[in-house]
Amino acid sequence: MRNSAFHNPLPGVPQIESPFFADIFGGMELPEPVTAIAAQLHTQGWAVLDFPDPDIAARADRIKESLHSRYDWEHWRTSGWRQNDGLRIQDAYKFNTDVRQIATNPEIIALLSALYGRRAWPFQTLNFPVGTQQHYHTDSVHFSSVPERFMCGVWVALEDIGPMQGPLMYYSGSHRWPIYTNEHIGVCRADAAGPPNQEVFHDLWTELVRVNRLEPMHFSAKKGQALIWTANLLHGGSRQTDPDLTRWSQVTHYYFDGCSYYAPMDSDPFYGRIFFRRPTDIGTGQVVPDTYSGRRVPLPFVWWTTRSILKRRVWSALGRQITHRLAQVGLRAPQTDR
């Protein structure tokens, strides 16, 4: 039960990351394991637990059997593992019941909802048969929200995972850093060619780790163990040293109610470009609307800002026509900085 004497002045900050963490959770009657997870997420940005599903072992075996033939194993063992070109299937929940059951596990959803203070819902699954070997990164550049930090990941080991299999790695405490996006590193996506790539942030993350003198932690997990990480925790996949081994795992990404959901890496909000993600709640199958302080974000605004590339092309084409017409009558269009 919540402490009725305390009124949270920051409802737009996840409870586990709030400066009023002690007041909020001190007034709640929660089981001791939940309180411990809350404290770990608050201080470390991650927490380990046994996945709350009595059938998780059998479910993991069925997932491995079902998905095995969908991966390019020959490419992985000949060159993929050397090139950090991992194997993955996104959103296997659409055709695999066990993947979906892990993503929509009611106890995990209830736990996350209690920790964050808003209803949690899964919007994406990733299934890996080997190590990702992915450079450490923060999910905040990929999946963010307004208010920020209302997103988390839950990683589940589908087999025992040791140091040679490329275990999950993370930097404890990095979740407390500010969330850095395009404007902080001088990038304007509206002017960039090709799809967005997190590599533009690699130098920043490397220097942040150096200046904060952080050492990576590695999760040698047992089958059925899970790790929750917060939106801004730096994490990645360590090197898999034996390509003949597997590292079966599932990641489910969760959002929370009452937010707008967007991709900062592909957005320039003050340049008129916001890439709204329009995520689907896996549990309901419905697209979750974007909201701002309890108000629905108008769909025309979502459409217009998300499709700013199209908008710029329309204006550019119109500008060329105007310039051409002015030239025909001996005039010039006014010069602008864009």
- Structure confidence at residue 338 as a pLDDT band (50, 70, 90): very low
* Structural domain boundaries in the chain: 37-297, 307-338
pTM of the predicted protein model: 0.89
Q: Mean pLDDT score of the chain, rounded to an integer?
A: 90
d(CA 127, CA 170): 19
Per-residue pLDDT of 56-83, as tens digits, reads 999 999 999 999 999 999 988 888 888 8
Give tens-digit pLDDT for 182-217.
Answer: 999 999 988 777 888 999 999 999 999 999 999 999
The arrangement of secondary structure in 37-297, i.e. its CATH architecture, is: Sandwich (2.60)
229-267 residue pLDDT tens: 999 999 999 999 888 899 999 999 999 999 999 999 999
pLDDT digits (tens, 9 = 90+) for 87-108: 999 999 999 999 999 999 999 9
Residue bearing the bigger pLDDT, 272 or 309: 272
Of the given ranges (108-117, 180-189, 313-322), which has the lowest mean pLDDT?
313-322
Whole-number CA gyration radius for the chain: 22
Full 3-state SS string of the chain? CCCCCCCCCCCCCCHHHCCCHHHHHHCCCCCHHHHHHHHHHHHCCEEEEECCCCCHHHHHHHHHHHHHHHCCHHHHHHHHCCCCCCCCEECHHHCCHHHHHHHCCHHHHHHHHHHHCCCEEEEEEEEECCCCCCCCECHHHCCEEECCCCEEEEEEECCCCCCCECCEEECCCHHHCCCCCHHHHCCCHHHCCCCCCHHHHHHHHHHHHHHHCCCCEEECCCCCEEEEEECCCCEEECCECCCCCCCCEEEEEEEECCCEEECHHHCEHHHCECCECCCEECCCCEECCCEECCEECCHHHHHHHHCHHHHHHHHHHHHHHHHHHHHHCCCCCCCCCC
For residue 314, pLDDT over 80 is answered with: no
Q: Which residues contact 99 (CB under 8 A, 6 or more apart)?
A: 63, 92, 93, 125, 127, 250
- Residue 320's pLDDT band (cuts 50, 70, 90): low
